[in-house]
A = this chain, B = another copy of it.
C-alpha cells in the first residue's frame, strides 16, 4: 500500500493525505453508528486531482487484485445511512471533497449556478440570496452537508413539495468516472435530449458509480414574502384534505407542508418547556404550512387566511394560527425542528424514513400503528414528516418507562420488518430521502424488485467493473 500512498501524496500534496492521528471526523458517521478505519483521508483540490487519485487507485487495484483498496467519496459526512464513512478493513481511501468548495459561476439570466461538490449547502443558499435568487434545497444538516453529498444521496428536505429533491434541482454534472476519466457534463440546459440520462444515474447513486465533482443547479426568483402557519387537524385524513385544498388555493405558493403527531409535539413540550406552543395539544395531528408569495406579504397573508378559513369551514382544520412576524414563523419551524432532539432526549428509538402515496397515508398509519401496538403493547409512535411529499419519519419509541437500549436490542429487527412490510403493502419506499448507504443495503436486497436489482447490478458492473467506488453501499455485487 505504501507505493499507493506515496502516489496519492504526489498527486494532492503530503499535507492533504492524512493517515495518522484522530481521523474520526472522517471515519465516524454522523449518527455515530459506525466507526471505520481509513487507509488514508485524501483531500484533492481540483477535478484533475480527483481524477488522478481515482486512476492511481484503479491502477493499483488492477496490479494487486486482492489488496481490497477502494474509494469512499465524502462531503460533509452527514449521511444518515452510513453511506460516506470507511468500513473497518483499513483498505478504503476516504476521498474528501471538502477542499473543492468554490461557486464557479452564477448565471442570473439562466437561473443557474455552477458549484463544486464540496460547497456547503448553506453557503450556496447564501450566495444565491446575495444575487436576489433562491436555491431552495433546505434540510437540517445544511450548515455542514455539501452539494456533492446532497446529489449523491438525492437529498430531500422541507421544500420538495414545490421545488423537488436535489435531483430535480440539478441540470448538469461534472463526474470523475470509476476509471478516473472526467465527464464534463456541466450543462446549464433545461432541455437536452442527447442520449441516456447519465446525470440522474449519478444523482442518488451514493458514490458507487463515480464521483460528482461539480454541478450546475437551478435557481429561482426569491419570493417577496414567506408566511408560516400552524394548524390543528382532527385526523390524518383531514391533513390530506387540507393538503389538497392548499394545493388548489395556493398553487405553487405552497412551499411547505409538514405533519406532526400529537405525541411528537408532546415530547417537544416536555423536553423544551420554554418553547411557546401556540395551539392546544389536544388535537391528534398538526400541520405546519408555508406559503411563499412573489407579490407582497399582504397578498400572501390574505391568501393564507382565506385558505385557513375555508379549511375551518370544511372541518379539516379545527384551529390555526398564522405567524405575525418572521420571529414567530421561526418559532413555529423551531417546534417542528425540535422533534428529533426531543425524541433523542426521551431515549433511543427506532427511526424510519419512509414514503407512501399521500392518499394512502391515513390507512397506512392506522394499520401500522395497530400492528405495532399488537406486537409491542404500549409502544409509542413519534410520527412526523413531510406529508406534502408522502414522506414520514415514522419513529418507534419504547413504552413509557421501559429501558430504551433494551427495547432496541429486543425489538429493532422485528419493528423494522413490521414497518417495512407494511410500507411495501402500501406501495411505499423504505428509504424516502436518506438513501441506502450500508445501513439499508440488506433491507433493499429484500424489498426491492429482483428485476430492478438485476438492472442495478448490471449498471454497476458496466460502469465500475472493479467495484472500486464505495463498495457495499446501495447494493452488494
Q: Which residues of A contact B (CB under 8 A)?
A: 107-112, 153-154, 156, 160-162, 164-165, 167-168, 177, 181-185, 187-198, 200-201, 203-205, 209, 220-221, 223, 240, 243-244, 247-253, 293-295, 303, 355-360, 386, 389-391, 427-436, 440, 444, 447-449, 451-456, 458-463, 474-475
Q: How far is the CA of A195 from the CA of B200 in the complex (A)?
A: 11
Chain B residues within an 8 Å CB radius of A162: 252
The answer to whether A432 touches B192 (Cβ under 8 A) is: yes
- Given contacts A110-B390, A111-B247, A200-B201, A448 and B195 within 8 Å (CB-CB): yes
Chain B residues within an 8 Å CB radius of A201: 196-197, 200-201, 459
The answer to whether B390 touches A459 (Cβ under 8 A) is: no
The answer to whether B429 touches A359 (Cβ under 8 A) is: no
Q: Across the two chains, which residue of chain B brings its CB closest to A428?
A: B189
- Given contacts A193-B434, A221-B247, A429-B194, A110 and B359 within 8 Å (CB-CB): yes
- Smallest CB–CB gap between A72 and chain B, Å? 18
Q: How far is the CA of A430 from the CA of B391 in the complex (A)?
A: 38
Chain B residues within an 8 Å CB radius of A111: 247, 358
- Smallest CB–CB gap between A356 and chain B, Å? 7
Q: How far is the CA of A451 from the CA of B389 in the complex (A)?
A: 35
- Given contacts A189-B432, A294-B251, A459 and B463 within 8 Å (CB-CB): yes
A sample of 7 cross-chain residue pairs with beta-carbon separation below 8 angstroms, ordered by A number, consists of: A109-B358, A183-B451, A190-B390, A221-B248, A223-B251, A459-B462, A462-B462
- Smallest CB–CB gap between A111 and chain B, Å? 7
- Smallest CB–CB gap between A423 and chain B, Å? 10
Chain B residues within an 8 Å CB radius of A181: 451, 454
- Smallest CB–CB gap between A54 and chain B, Å? 13
State the main secondary structure of chain A at its contact with B: mixed
Q: How far is the CA of A432 from the CA of B294 in the complex (A)?
A: 29
Chain B residues within an 8 Å CB radius of A360: 110
- Smallest CB–CB gap between A438 and chain B, Å? 14
| Cβ-neighbour of A107 out of B183, B359, B389 (below 8 A) | B359
The answer to whether A190 touches B355 (Cβ under 8 A) is: yes
The answer to whether B110 touches A249 (Cβ under 8 A) is: no
The answer to whether B359 touches A431 (Cβ under 8 A) is: no
Q: Across the two chains, which residue of chain B brings its CB closest to A197?
A: B200
| Cβ-neighbour of A154 out of B193, B198, B460 (below 8 A) | B193
Q: How far is the CA of A436 from the CA of B251 in the complex (A)?
A: 35
The answer to whether A432 touches B112 (Cβ under 8 A) is: no
- Smallest CB–CB gap between A77 and chain B, Å? 18
The answer to whether A193 touches B112 (Cβ under 8 A) is: no
- Smallest CB–CB gap between A308 and chain B, Å? 16
Not counting A197-B201, A198-B456, a sample of 6 additional A-B residue pairs whose C-beta atoms are within 8 angstroms of each other reads A110-B360, A177-B455, A189-B390, A189-B428, A193-B204, A198-B452
The answer to whether A109 touches B240 (Cβ under 8 A) is: yes
Q: How far is the CA of A118 from the CA of B295 in the complex (A)?
A: 42
The answer to whether A435 touches B184 (Cβ under 8 A) is: no
Q: Across the two chains, which residue of chain B brings its CB closest to A108?
A: B244
| Cβ-neighbour of A191 out of B200, B244, B295, B432 (below 8 A) | B432
Q: Across the two chains, which residue of chain B brings its CB closest to A209?
A: B196
The answer to whether B194 touches A444 (Cβ under 8 A) is: yes
Chain B residues within an 8 Å CB radius of A295: 303
Top 10 closest pairs, chain A to chain B, by CB: A252-B252, A251-B294, A109-B359, A200-B200, A462-B462, A192-B429, A191-B432, A458-B462, A110-B359, A188-B357
- Smallest CB–CB gap between A159 and chain B, Å? 12
Chain B residues within an 8 Å CB radius of A462: 458-459, 461-462
The answer to whether B294 touches A189 (Cβ under 8 A) is: no
The answer to whether A188 touches B427 (Cβ under 8 A) is: yes
- Smallest CB–CB gap between A297 and chain B, Å? 14
The answer to whether A191 touches B248 (Cβ under 8 A) is: no
The answer to whether B189 touches A197 (Cβ under 8 A) is: no
- Smallest CB–CB gap between A145 and chain B, Å? 15
Q: Across the two chains, which residue of chain B brings its CB closest to A437?
A: B193
The answer to whether B193 touches A153 (Cβ under 8 A) is: yes
- Smallest CB–CB gap between A180 and chain B, Å? 11
Chain B residues within an 8 Å CB radius of A453: 195
Q: How far is the CA of A245 from the CA of B192 in the complex (A)?
A: 25
The answer to whether A386 touches B191 (Cβ under 8 A) is: yes
- Given contacts A194-B444, A294-B250, A462-B459, A110 and B357 within 8 Å (CB-CB): yes
| Cβ-neighbour of A195 out of B196, B223, B428, B475 (below 8 A) | B475
Q: How far is the CA of A430 from the CA of B456 in the complex (A)?
A: 29
Chain B residues within an 8 Å CB radius of A187: 427, 429
